[in-house]
Amino acid sequence: MDMQSKLMELLDFGQSRSRRNTVAPAGSIAARDNVALGRAFAQTMSDLDILNFALTLEHLEAEMYRQMLATNILTGKELTYFRDFGAAEAAHVTAITQTIQQLGGTPVAAKAMYNFPAFGDRGAILNFAATVEEVGVGAYQGAAPAITNANILAAAGSIVQVEARHAAIVRLLQGQPPVPAAFTPSLTVQEVLTKVTPILGS
Amino acid sequence: MNNKMNMSRRNFFKASAVAVVASTLATSPLMSGVGLAQGGNQTLDILNYALTLEHLEARAYRDVIASGLLSGMALDFFRTFGEHEAAHVTALTQTIQQLGGTPVAAQANYNWPTFANQSEVLTFFHTVEELGAAAYLGQAPRLIDNDGLLTAAVSIHNVEAQHAAVLADLIGADPSPDFGTPKTMEEVLVVVTPLLNANVPSGMPQTGRGGFLGGGAGGPSVFH
């Protein structure tokens, strides 16, 4: 079963489980709180599930930068940054793959193809990179509370920080406010899947 | 650009983010008393440590903006970043109060270095923001048992790293390593104690005070 199917299955399980187990007094904050529900779902994922979820995103990002660089559209400082960012994503792929193997798990492979939009000009490249990096930040941040191993949590933290930096710098290159808020938002696994499934394809 | 719109958007983000942190905390086990017995004091120590750094950052931005050394895009960024740090101060202060702790106060004065120009300002703030990101990253695994606080800490940590990245770009430094590097409380306090001009809060490691009290031409080389 590939990661996407597994996550979808977990998602169904997680939602029924969270409804059963987080029964809160009617009207309480927890009962109405989607964030709490999302967290409850993420808690049904093991650390290995989360690592493979992260690896799925890192594969996507690494390949995205590779294809963006292959267009030879970017120049100067932007080219330097995108080379660095692509190398960072590749380093994340390597690190997470090794971690999964050390834990006795099976790392998900990169997809043979991704449904990226056409990287036809600088604007399209920056726009898509900004979107994907933001998803990366929200995904790691949303999954962090579900991680049970402190070392894996520390590693996830050191990676989410880098995704956040990438997002800020790409926005800066776009002429957008690079740090638009005092807190970065979390995404639930379901929200991340909604955003990345069209890119991951079938 | 429409300044009024930007301002209201910023205020919205600030207000909503504080609400998110507060509501997250309201649903955390700590708020119902569960878990306090096994780590309440350590949690409050971590939060007051973070608040100490946020007070320093918020005041640093405020003071340097008032200095008139900055202009153009850098000044715009500093205003925004300063608002972010002020929002972090508010969120951490409220969180500590909700947990029954006493939030550490900002100091009356800080020992800022003397800045001759914008470039020196940018270099100093880049260092401070990198330190902030490293400090949060160092503490995050210690919050593993509290989902709400961990999420808030990761979120603030990301913003500190984003500030650092933008400042790095402005001074021509590398905006992003492949992996962030954590720092322990001791490592951070060695660097910030000379700036604090006073005692660090109780419960926090006292390492580094000697360097400050010793005075002299020293001080952490990172600021020179």
What confidence score (pLDDT) does residue A43 get? 62
> Which pLDDT tens digit goes with each residue over B85-118?
999 999 999 999 999 999 999 999 999 999 999 9
Of A29, A33, A168, the CB nearest to B165: A168
Mean per-residue pLDDT of chain B: 79
Q: Which residues of chain A have pLDDT under 70?
A: 1-43, 202
Q: For residue B182, which residues of chain A lie inside 8 Å, CB to CB?
A: 154, 157-158
Residue B1's pLDDT band (boundaries 50, 70, 90)? very low
Say which residues have a Cβ less than 8 Å from residue A78's Cβ, sequence separation at least 6: A122, A126, A173
Over residues B126-153, mean pLDDT: 97
Q: Give the tens place of pLDDT for each residue, A73-118.
A: 999 999 999 999 999 999 999 999 999 999 999 999 999 999 999 9
First-to-last C-alpha distance (Å) of chain A: 12
The whole-number pLDDT of residue A6 equals 52
A117 CB neighbour count, 10 Å cutoff: 11
Q: Which pLDDT belongs to residue A202?
A: 63
What does the pLDDT read at residue A41? 56
pLDDT tens for B145-201 read 999 999 999 999 999 999 999 999 999 999 999 999 999 999 999 999 989 865 555
- In contact, A178 and A92? CB cutoff 8 Å: no
- Could you say which of B6, B81, B176 has the minimum Cβ distance to residue A165? B176
Average pLDDT over residues B60-71: 96
Handedness of CA B9, B12, B17, B20 (dihedral sign): negative
CB contact under 8 A, B158 and A137: yes
For residues B61-77, average pLDDT? 96
3-state helix, strand, coil in chain A (%, to 5): 70, 0, 30
Does B26 sit within 8 Å of A162, measured CB to CB? no
Per-residue pLDDT at A201: 85
- pLDDT at residue A44 in the model: 78
**The pLDDT value given to residue B13:** 35
Q: Decide if B155 and A33 are in contact by the 8 Å CB cutoff.
A: no
Of A10-14, B9-13, B141-145, the range with the lowest mean pLDDT is: B9-13
Q: Is the ipTM of this complex over 0.90?
A: no
Percent of chain B with pLDDT over 70: 70
**Closest to B145 measured CA to CA, from B44, B28, B22:** B28
Q: How far is CA B100 from the centre of its chain?
A: 21
Interface test with A, best of B95, B145, B154, B167 (most A CBs within 10 A): B154
From A199's Cα to the closest Cα of chain B, the distance in A is 24
